[in-house]
């Protein structure tokens, strides 16, 4: 949990935090594991969490480091660059009593690579990974806050991995799987799934939509064109919708389409965690599909769409480390 500080002002953020907020408003019971400072910014964050209806039972209060802050800039193309302040409170998440049981009792444990940048939080994260039933690794490679060894370890512990196409290219290159073109992405995803024994690999491709490899099947979903206000939180809402569908046992292609529409819906608003409903997501997807003006879904990366069986239905409880 942290504050994104933009030229227009500050807003609550942090990728796993955003995922948790979106999961909650999509109806998935979610618990946050994080740490804020004993300061005004920390108190404001806790108030915001409460206003969203999320529990703060596992959000620690630290008295030695300030609440996290990220300085973000948005360019004319709505691309965001970040300067992530270090050290801050979330670099010191402690392994407190009750966390092991919380994670063990959840159907999913969602975490990002930024949480592993500091020794204290990294140690806590590594311990919790051993108790989780299903680990979701939201890759978030922000230089200089990651190393190849740490990302490789987290991949080894993951069951489902979500990354963007730039991260796919970088990670694949580490292992000699060079990506020369868009057409190489599915093969790289399949290779990663095999190499790290992953149940699913999801890659977001910006305006071109997203890819999902699971059950030895490739799924593609086109992007949904909208008037973009800002893209902060769009990828996090995408992941939340994908996980909601996964937990509900939706067909993977449907999961992916709804996730793309959710990311687009959030991009229509300022801020990472605007309020929305699943009905609004479905309406956006439906209107995009029937729009003859060219403002609908972008063309898929190819005409082939392979269908497979959906995931089994499980209960919907997620622990989220941010």
What's 291's DSSP letter?
-
Return d(Cα 152, Cα 306) in angstroms, integer: 29
pLDDT at residue 299, as a whole number: 38
Q: What is the value of pTM for the model shown? A: 0.89
- What are the distances in angstroms from CA 225 to CA 67, 75, 228? 36, 19, 9
Does residue 23 or residue 306 have the better pLDDT? Answer: 23
Return d(Cα 114, Cα 23) in angstroms, integer: 20
- CA 223 from chain centre, in angstroms, equals 17
Q: At a CB cut-off of 8 Å and minimum separation 6, what does 5 contact?
A: 69, 70, 71, 72
Does residue 241 or residue 83 have the better pLDDT? Answer: 241
308: pLDDT strictly greater than 70? no
pLDDT at residue 178, as a whole number: 83
Rounded average pLDDT over 282-295: 73
- What are the distances in angstroms from CA 155 to CA 4, 11, 231, 322? 27, 30, 26, 18
Residue 47, both tokens: 């108030």
Contact status, residue 140 vs residue 80, Cβ threshold 8 Å: no
Question: Model confidence over 10-56: pLDDT tens digits?
Answer: 999 999 999 999 999 999 999 999 999 999 999 999 999 999 999 99
Model confidence band, residue 207 (pLDDT cutoffs 50, 70, 90): confident
pLDDT at residue 290, as a whole number: 66
Mode of pairing for the β-strands spanning 217-221 and 160-164? unpaired
Model confidence band, residue 76 (pLDDT cutoffs 50, 70, 90): low
Name residue, tokens 């049981």.
Answer: 101
Return d(Cα 4, Cα 285) in angstroms, integer: 29
Percent of the chain scored above 70 by pLDDT?
88
pLDDT at residue 135, as a whole number: 99
Q: At a CB cut-off of 8 Å and minimum separation 6, what does 69 contact?
A: 2, 3, 5, 41, 85, 88
Question: Model confidence over 100-110: pLDDT tens digits?
Answer: 999 999 999 99
Residue ranges of alpha helices (H) inside the chain are: 15-25, 40-51, 99-105, 119-129, 148-157, 165-174, 185-195, 234-248, 252-267, 278-290
Average pLDDT, the chain: 89
pLDDT at residue 294, as a whole number: 40
Return d(Cα 128, Cα 125) in angstroms, integer: 5
Domains and CATH numbers, the chain: 15-34+98-321 (3.40.1190.20)
């Amino acid at each position: 949990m942290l504050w994104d500080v933009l030229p227009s002002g500050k807003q609550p953020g942090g990728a796993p935090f955003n995922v948790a907020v979106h999961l909650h408003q999509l109806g998935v019971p979610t618990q946050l594991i994080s740490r804020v400072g004993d300061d005004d910014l920390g108190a404001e964050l806790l108030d915001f969490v409460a206003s969203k209806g999320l529990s703060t039972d596992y959000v620690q209060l630290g008295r030695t480091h300030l609440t996290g802050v990220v300085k973000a800039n948005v360019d004319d193309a709505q691309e965001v660059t970040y300067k992530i302040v270090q050290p801050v409170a979330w670099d010191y998440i402690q392994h407190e009593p009750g966390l092991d049981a919380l994670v063990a009792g959840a159907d999913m444990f969602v975490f990002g690579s930024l949480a592993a940048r500091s020794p204290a939080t990294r140690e806590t994260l590594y311990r919790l990974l051993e108790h989780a039933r299903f680990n979701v690794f939201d890759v978030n490679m922000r230089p200089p806050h990651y190393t190849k060894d740490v990302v490789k370890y987290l991949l080894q512990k993951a069951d489902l991995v979500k990354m963007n196409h730039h991260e796919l290219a970088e990670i694949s290159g580490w292992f000699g799987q060079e990506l020369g073109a868009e057409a190489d992405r599915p093969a790289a995803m399949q290779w990663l799934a095999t190499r790290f024994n992953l149940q699913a690999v999801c890659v977001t491709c910006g305006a071109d939509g997203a890819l999902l490899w699971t059950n030895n099947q490739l799924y593609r979903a086109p992007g949904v064109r909208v008037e973009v206000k800002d893209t902060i939180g769009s990828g996090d809402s995408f992941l939340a919708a994908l996980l909601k569908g996964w937990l509900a046992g939706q067909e993977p292609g449907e999961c992916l389409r709804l996730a793309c529409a959710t990311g687009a819906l959030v991009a229509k608003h300022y801020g990472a965690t605007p309020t929305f409903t699943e009905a609004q997501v479905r309406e956006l997807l439906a209107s995009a599909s029937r729009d003859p003006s060219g403002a609908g879904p972008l063309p898929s990366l190819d005409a082939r769409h392979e269908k497979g069986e959906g995931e089994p239905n499980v209960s919907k409880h997620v622990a989220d480390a941010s």
